[in-house]
Amino acid sequence: MFNRLLLYLELVRMEFVNNLAYRSFYFTGILNYSIQIGAYFFLWDAVYVGNRVIGGLDREAMITYVIIAWVVRSFYFSNLDRRVGTDIRDGKIALELIRPYSYQMVKYARSFGEAAFRMFFFAFPAGAAIYLIRPFTLPVGWDSVAMFVAAVLGAFVINAQISMIAGFAVFFTKSPTGVYKAKRVIMDLLSGLLLPISFYPGWAREIIQLLPFQAVSYLPNMIYLGKIRGAAAFEVLLLQVFWIAVLGFLAHLFWRFAVKHVVIQGG
C-alpha cells in the first residue's frame, strides 16, 4: 500500500519534470488562454451596461468569475480522455494487465503531475499578470481561500474521473473524436465555465444541479467570489466527495468492462 503510494507520487513528480521539456506546447497554451480570457472579458464588458446585476453577479463579479474560471481550468484540465481512448484504440490496455499496479491510479497520478506543473508555471503567473493589467476582486476572507483551494482540488478529481469515463466510452463508439468533443461541449456548458449556472433558466438549473459538472467550475468560482460561504461552502465540498464516490464507482465498472472486453475478444 505504502509502496504503491510512493509509485504514484513518483509518477506525479515525473510528469511534472517532463512537462518542463515541452515548451512549445506551453507557449501555445498561454496564447490560447489569453485569447479566451480576453474575448470573454470584452463580451461581458459589453453585456453589462450600466449597473446591471445578472444571475446574482454584477459587472465586477462577472469579470472576476471569467478570469478565475479560466485560470482554474488551466489547472484541472487534462487530456486523460484522449490518453485512455488511445490506449483502448491501440490495444495498449492489454499490456497494462501485466503490470502490478492500478491503471486508473497511474493515469490520475500523471494527470495530477501535469496539473501541478500548470498550476506553478501557468495558473499562478497568468493570474498575477492579469491582476496587474486589470485588477479583479480578491477573495473576501481566508475561509473563502481555504474552501476555494479544497474545491479546486475536488474539481480536479471530478474532471479527471469524467475524462476517464469518457476515455472508456471509446469502447462503445466508432468515433473517438466524437466522444472527446461531446465531453468537451458538455463540460464547457454544464460546468459553468462559459456561463455561470445562475444565468440558465430555472428548469435547466434544476437539471444541472442533479449532475456532477457544476462542481468542476461553477461552485468553486462561487466560493471564490464569496457568494457561497461558511456552511454552504462546506456543503459544496461534501457534494464533491459524493460525486467523487459515484464517479469512482462508475469508472470502476467501465474499467471492469474494458478488461473483460480485452480478455474475451482479445487484445
Ligand X SMILES: Nc1ncnc2c1ncn2[C@@H]1O[C@H](COP(=O)(O)OP(=O)(O)O)[C@@H](O)[C@H]1O
Residues that bind ligand X (CB under 6 A): 265-266
Task: Indicate whether 133 belongs to the interface with other proteins (CB under 8 A).
Answer: no
Q: Left if phi > 0, otherwise alpha if psi is -120 to 50, otherwise beta: which for 91? A: left
Task: Indicate whether 150 belongs to the interface with other proteins (CB under 8 A).
Answer: no
Q: Which residues make beta-bridge pairs with 53? A: 58
Residue 260 CB, shortest distance to other proteins, in Å, is 9
What span, in angstroms and rounded, lies between the C-alpha atoms of 73 and 265? 38
Whose Cβ is closer to other proteins: residue 97's or residue 185's? 97
Contact code string over 72-101 relative to other proteins, x by CB under 8 A = --------------------x-xx-xxxxx
In the list ligand X, other proteins, none, the entry touching 100 (Cβ below 5 to 8 angstroms by class) is: other proteins
Closest residue by beta carbon to ligand X? 266
Q: What is the DSSP string of 61-113?
A: HHHHHHHHHHHHHHHH---HHHHHHHHHHTTHHHHGGGSSS-HHHHHHHHHHH
Instruction: Considering only residues 5 through 24, tell me which ones interact with other proteins, judged by CB under 8 A.
Output: 6-7, 10-11, 14, 18
Among 50, 201, 202, 266, binds other proteins (CB under 8 A): 266
Number of C-beta neighbours around residue 172 at 10 A: 10
In the list ligand X, other proteins, none, the entry touching 24 (Cβ below 5 to 8 angstroms by class) is: none
Whose Cβ is closer to ligand X: residue 44's or residue 171's? 171
Angle at 112 between CA 211 and CA 36, to 5 degrees: 65
In the 8-state DSSP scheme, what is residue 210? T
Whose Cβ is closer to ligand X: residue 24's or residue 265's? 265
What span, in angstroms and rounded, lies between the C-alpha atoms of 80 and 107? 7
Whose Cβ is closer to other proteins: residue 79's or residue 137's? 79
Residue 265 CB, shortest distance to ligand X, in Å, is 5
Whose Cβ is closer to ligand X: residue 50's or residue 266's? 266
Q: Left if phi > 0, otherwise alpha if psi is -120 to 50, otherwise beta: which for 139? A: beta
Residue 223 CB, shortest distance to ligand X, in Å, is 49
Strand residues in the chain grouped as ranges (E): 53-54, 57-58
Whose Cβ is closer to other proteins: residue 1's or residue 49's? 1
Q: What is the dihedral of CA 157, 158, 163, 166, to 10 degrees?
A: 140
In the list other proteins, ligand X, none, the entry touching 94 (Cβ below 5 to 8 angstroms by class) is: other proteins
Residue 47 CB, shortest distance to other proteins, in Å, is 43
